[in-house]
């Protein structure tokens, strides 16, 4: 493990003040880090095969308790669909595990005999894992596996609205790790989380890496903590239905994606963008498959309720079904059979409430004059929110795919697939992950679907090949021959 920093970071204002709950949370964060650091010393001495046994134990436990943890998450948070949460738990326990099972992450990684160098993977140490209320149990399973694979202990900081289901998940995984021969404190969690406690965890002198999945404010706090962070916030995914697509299949995929767990996955579509020549057929196909286009009064009522004063989505609507959204927003005249609500939009920004991320089955619908206008609108939507995240495209023309992929400010472009599931690697060949990096354009340290290799340091061993005298007059020294 990396040795402790010589000088502790300065304590941030409020880190030791605030309410009794804040002070308790800060103390608990410090104790969790101390326990995790001790466990990390044991992990650092384990070979990859030993770590793999811990990862397998976590995967098996996640698989065996997928339904229980899904029900707990749905009941506690009130978000989404319990059956879909079960599928997300299984995605982590099966798909993520299958992807990392054969990976070599710690120890010798490779040798370049020509250059006489070796690469070694070294655990980074204690990881602070921020857990959102939208995907709590599946995110714990996923982060526990990729961190243990890399030999890193984890301290989980749950969203206050998902404490019980996160603590139950961590309890089960700790038992599994211990049975497999590892230290239970390789996985710990703050039981009384507050923003102050999360900041204390992220800024602790022994925290080495932050995995931040959650709201924009907490992700920004992660990047400003002074600890290297991998974070992802809003994903405002535009989806282009190109005239060359199979329209019925494209709409089905969008509808499946937007209704999966009631739209809680950050890679889910947020705005449909079509050319004028396809617009009427697209509207008809959405209606045929259970979509409802809101009239002017309905748009105004939902738009007024959708966002809070700070521009964030009203949490009362997050993860609710289309029918519940209508009830909460006071909409009348919408069929009870509605699967997704669609609102016609003509602009982007705070004055256009449907143009941002909507964590529920609501889509903006844009009609543009031509392909150039569609591309420009998609870029505008991504730059407004979700820069660097994900773009979805349905097209049968490879040239169109290449053109859009080159132009859009997104780290992943998913083609002819439900974006929510394609972005996380469930229906595509992308690495299966529940933390999706947004690259430099999104202010993120990586553009990857985050995995174990993002959680180790590469140590390099290099043998000398030349002496000082050999460098004088070396024609390769300046690249010229």
CA pair distance 239, 347, nearest whole angstrom: 16
Q: Is the pLDDT of residue 479 over 70?
A: no
Please enumerate in sequence order all residues whose Cβ is within 8 A of that of 465, keeping only pairs 6 or more positions apart, or say none.
115, 116
Q: Which residues pair with 461 in a beta bridge?
A: 118
Range in 307-311, 342-346, 397-401 with the lowest mean pLDDT: 307-311
Chain CA centroid to CA 126, Å: 20
pLDDT the model gives residue 474: 65
Strands (E), 357-455: 362-368, 388-394, 410-415
Closest among 435, 436, 390 to 417, alpha carbons compared? 390
Q: SS3 for 88?
A: helix
Residue 465: C-alpha distances to residues 108, 200, 284, 460 (Å) = 21, 47, 69, 15
Q: Is the pLDDT of residue 172 over 50?
A: yes
Q: Which residue has the tokens 């300046």?
A: 478
Q: Which residues pair with 240 in a beta bridge?
A: 273, 393
CA pair distance 200, 177, nearest whole angstrom: 26
Cβ–Cβ < 8 Å for 392, 238: yes
What is the per-residue burial (b if ≥16 Cβ within 10 Å, else e) of 19-33?
eeebbbbbebbbebb
Cβ–Cβ < 8 Å for 76, 165: yes
Q: Is the pLDDT of residue 14 over 50?
A: no
Sheet containing 187-189, strands listed edge to edge, beginning at the edge strand earlier in sequence: 187-189, 154-158, 126-131, 207-213, 229-232
Residue 266 appears among annotated catalytic residues = yes
Give me 339's structure tokens.
């699967």
Which contiguous run of DSSP H or E holds residue 398? helix 398-407
Strands (E), 172-312: 187-189, 207-213, 229-232, 237-241, 269-275, 291-293
Q: Which residues pair with 307 in a beta bridge?
A: 313
CA pair distance 424, 87, nearest whole angstrom: 13
CA pair distance 261, 83, nearest whole angstrom: 8
Q: Is the pLDDT of residue 8 over 60?
A: no
pLDDT the model gives residue 10: 38
> At residue 243, what are phi and psi to the nearest 5 degrees?
-55, -20
CA pair distance 286, 367, nearest whole angstrom: 14
pLDDT the model gives residue 7: 34
CA atoms within 13 A on the CB side of 52: 13
Q: Is the pLDDT of residue 225 over 90?
A: no
Q: Is the pLDDT of residue 5 over 70?
A: no
pLDDT band at 15 (very low <50, low <70, confident <90, very high): very low
Percent of the chain with pLDDT over 70: 94
Q: Is the pLDDT of residue 82 over 60?
A: yes
pLDDT the model gives residue 71: 98
Average pLDDT, the chain: 92
Cβ–Cβ < 8 Å for 223, 191: no
56, burial (CB in 10 Å: exposed 0-12, middle 13-18, buried 19+): middle
pLDDT the model gives residue 76: 97
CA pair distance 118, 113, nearest whole angstrom: 8
pLDDT the model gives residue 13: 38
What is the reported pTM? 0.91
Cβ–Cβ < 8 Å for 277, 244: no
pLDDT band at 219 (very low <50, low <70, confident <90, very high): confident
pLDDT the model gives residue 426: 97
Q: Which domains does the chain have, with CATH numbers?
A: 20-233 (3.40.605.10), 237-425 (3.40.309.10)
pLDDT the model gives residue 476: 62
The full DSSP string for 285-342 is HHHHTTEEE--HHHHHHHHHHHB-TTSPBPTTTTT--HHHHHHHHT--S--TT-SEEE
CA pair distance 218, 428, nearest whole angstrom: 29
CA pair distance 18, 356, nearest whole angstrom: 33
Cβ–Cβ < 8 Å for 156, 145: no
DSSP 262: G
pLDDT band at 471 (very low <50, low <70, confident <90, very high): confident
CA pair distance 439, 476, nearest whole angstrom: 34
DSSP 18: S
User: What sign results for the dihedral spanned by CA atoms 135, 136, 142, 146?
Assistant: positive
Which contiguous run of DSSP H or E holds residue 157? strand 154-158
CA pair distance 355, 350, nearest whole angstrom: 8
pLDDT the model gives residue 477: 57
Range in 167-171, 377-381, 437-441 with the lowest mean pLDDT: 437-441
pLDDT the model gives residue 478: 60
Catalytic: which of 240, 245, 266, 378?
Answer: 266
């Amino acid at each position: 493990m990396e040795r402790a920093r010589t000088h502790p970071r300065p304590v941030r204002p409020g880190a030791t003040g605030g309410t009794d709950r804040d002070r308790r949370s800060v103390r608990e964060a410090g104790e969790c880090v101390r326990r995790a650091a001790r466990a990390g010393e044991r992990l650092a001495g384990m070979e990859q095969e030993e770590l793999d046994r811990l990862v397998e134990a976590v995967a098996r436990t996640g698989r065996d308790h997928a339904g229980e943890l899904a029900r707990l998450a749905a009941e506690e948070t009130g978000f989404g669909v319990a059956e879909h949460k079960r599928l997300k738990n299984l995605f982590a326990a099966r798909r993520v595990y299958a992807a990392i099972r054969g990976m070599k992450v710690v120890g010798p990684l490779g040798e370049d005999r020509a250059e006489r160098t070796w690469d070694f993977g070294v655990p980074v140490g204690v990881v602070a894992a921020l857990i959102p209320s939208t995907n709590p149990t599946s995110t714990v399973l996923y982060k526990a596996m990729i961190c243990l694979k890399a030999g890193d202990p984890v301290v989980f900081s749950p969203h206050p609205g998902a404490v019980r289901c996160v603590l139950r998940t961590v309890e089960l995984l700790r038992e599994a790790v211990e049975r497999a021969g590892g230290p239970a404190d390789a996985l710990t969690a703050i039981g009384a989380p507050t923003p102050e406690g999360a900041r204390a965890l992220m800024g602790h002198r022994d925290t080495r890496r932050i995995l931040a999945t959650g709201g924009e404010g907490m992700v920004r706090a992660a990047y400003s903590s002074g600890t290297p962070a991998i974070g992802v916030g809003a994903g405002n995914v535009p989806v282009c239905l190109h005239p060359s697509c199979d329209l019925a299949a494209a709409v089905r995929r969008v509808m499946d994606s937007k209704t999966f767990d009631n739209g809680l996955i950050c890679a889910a579509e947020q705005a449909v963008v079509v050319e004028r020549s396809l617009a009427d057929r697209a509207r008809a196909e959405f209606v045929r498959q259970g979509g409802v286009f809101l009239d002017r009064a309905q748009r105004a009522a939902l738009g007024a309720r959708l966002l809070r004063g700070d521009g964030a989505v009203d949490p009362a609507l997050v993860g609710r079904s289309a029918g519940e959204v209508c009830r909460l927003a006071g909409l009348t005249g919408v069929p009870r059979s509605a699967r997704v609500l669609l609102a016609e939009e003509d602009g982007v920004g705070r004055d256009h409430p449907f143009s941002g991320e909507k964590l529920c089955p609501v889509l903006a619908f844009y009609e543009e004059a031509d392909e150039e206008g569609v591309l420009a609108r998609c870029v505008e939507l991504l730059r407004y929110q979700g820069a660097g995240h994900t773009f979805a495209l349905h097209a049968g023309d490879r040239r169109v795919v290449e053109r859009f992929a080159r132009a859009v400010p997104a780290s992943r472009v998913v083609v002819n697939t439900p974006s929510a599931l394609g972005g996380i690697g469930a229906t595509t060949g992308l690495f299966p992950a529940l933390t999706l990096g947004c690259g430099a354009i999104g202010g993120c340290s990586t553009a990857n679907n985050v995995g174990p290799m993002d959680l180790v340091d590469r140590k390099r061993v290099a043998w000398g090949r030349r002496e000082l005298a050999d460098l004088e007059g070396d024609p390769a020294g300046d690249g010229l021959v």
